[in-house]
Amino acid sequence: MTIRPPVIPSSEITSQTLYLQRRKFISNSALWASAAMFPEISAASTRLHAAVNSRYSTTETATDYKDITTYNNYYEFGTGKSDPSEYATDLKTRPWTIDIVGEVKHPKKWDIDALIKTFPLEERIYRMRCVEGWSMVIPWLGFPLASLIRQAEPTANAKYVEFTTLYDPAQMPGQRRAVLAWPYIEGLRMDEAMHPLSLLAVGLYGRALPNQNGAPLRLVVPWKYGFKSAKAIVRIRFMEQQPLTAWSRSVPSEYGFYSNVNPAVDHPRWSQAKERRIGEFFKRDTLPFNGYGDQVAGLYRGMDLRKYF
């Protein structure tokens, strides 16, 4: 299989320094403004600096910090929406390592801080659509998954990438019950993983990622339902076989491996045609691939998306 390099933005060809400076200025002022609006952000967490990558960012209004950090699905800490913000506070995210294993030329145990220093961070304002029918707009901070993959150099056998979340029932009370098969596993096809939209996030709203949002490192795949974006990642494995992902394993008839946002393919028990954007009163129409169709529809050309839901 071929690994396509991402399209080089024109901004990087013409006067990059100027472009970045301007971006940085805008993003910093936006961050200051958001910090003033949401005093909770100014709490303990570390400030992270990154310019907005406008090429991959939406201009829609970002969801309130408070909502992003108190309304979460993160079954490792309980199945209630407020459980993660309540029970994830004590999760130890340092020291933290991420194992790069499997079909790669350079397997490696990355220290999280080394990872953050190695790959330049950028801000990406993405839509996030949950399989349950609600959505948010989240200003993530992170780096393209493709950067890490290129560094690891997958072998020709690498067809899929598997992400594993931390398994530690002592710290993650939700894992003491078998709601899902632990540890949480997610996965992408290689071309999906290499897509420039696929992000490894380490922060949001200009700050280090709160624990309830998947600290210290999480995946963000904005054209797929939220559960595809694994949190608190400890291992990234390159494989020839398609990984058996957590939700798909638990209820195969309801959650497929691909799980692309698709208003035309309903969840067996509820419609996916509309969504409630958190903070809004009226529901809005859900867009194919969560509005990222221009960029990602090509990945699935010729595939029956009803069959590969």
Partner 1 sequence: MDFRNPVSRLKIIVFLLGWFPLLRLAILGIVGKLGANPVEFITHSTGTWTLVGLMLTLTITPLRQLTGYAGLIRIRRMLGLFTFFYASLHFVTYIWLDQFFDLQAIVKDVYKRPFITVGFMAYLLLIPLALTSSNAMIRRLGAKRWQRLHRLVYLIAILGVVHYWWLVKKDIRQPLLYAGILAVLLGWRAVRRQRAKD
Residues that bind partner 1 (CB under 8 A): 64, 66-67, 70-71, 75, 79, 81-82, 132, 134, 179-180, 250-251, 266, 269-271, 273-274, 276, 278-279, 281-283
Q: Closest CB to partner 1 among 133 and 293? A: 133
Closest separation in Å from C-beta 296 to partner 1 = 25
> Which residues have C-beta within 8 Å of that of residue 210, sequence separation ≥ 6?
45, 69, 85, 88, 204
Please provide residue 283's backbone torsions phi and psi, each rounded to the nearest 5 degrees.
-75, 155
Q: What does DSSP assign to residue 117?
A: H
Closest separation in Å from C-beta 80 to partner 1 = 9
DSSP string across 30-58 = HHHHHHHH-GGGGSSSPB---EE-GGG--
Q: Closest CB to partner 1 among 42 and 82? A: 82
Closest separation in Å from C-beta 81 to partner 1 = 7
CA atoms in the 13 A half-sphere facing the CB of 245: 22
Tokens at residue 235, please?
A: 């291992």
Q: Closest CB to partner 1 among 179 and 287? A: 179
Closest separation in Å from C-beta 287 to partner 1 = 17
| Whole-angstrom distance, CA of residue 112 vs CA of residue 203 | 13
Closest separation in Å from C-beta 239 to partner 1 = 25
Please provide residue 187's backbone torsions phi and psi, each rounded to the nearest 5 degrees.
-160, 160
Closest separation in Å from C-beta 190 to partner 1 = 29
| Whole-angstrom distance, CA of residue 299 vs CA of residue 3 | 12
Q: Closest CB to partner 1 among 64 and 103? A: 64
Residue 26: other Cβ atoms inside 10 A: 13
Closest separation in Å from C-beta 166 to partner 1 = 20
Q: Closest CB to partner 1 among 79 and 241? A: 79
Q: Closest CB to partner 1 among 174 and 216? A: 174
- Three-state SS for 130? coil
Q: Closest CB to partner 1 among 3 and 278? A: 278
232: left (phi over 0), alpha (psi -120 to 50) or beta: left
Task: For the chain, give percent helix, strand, coil, nearest 5.
Answer: 30, 25, 45
| Whole-angstrom distance, CA of residue 272 vs CA of residue 274 | 6
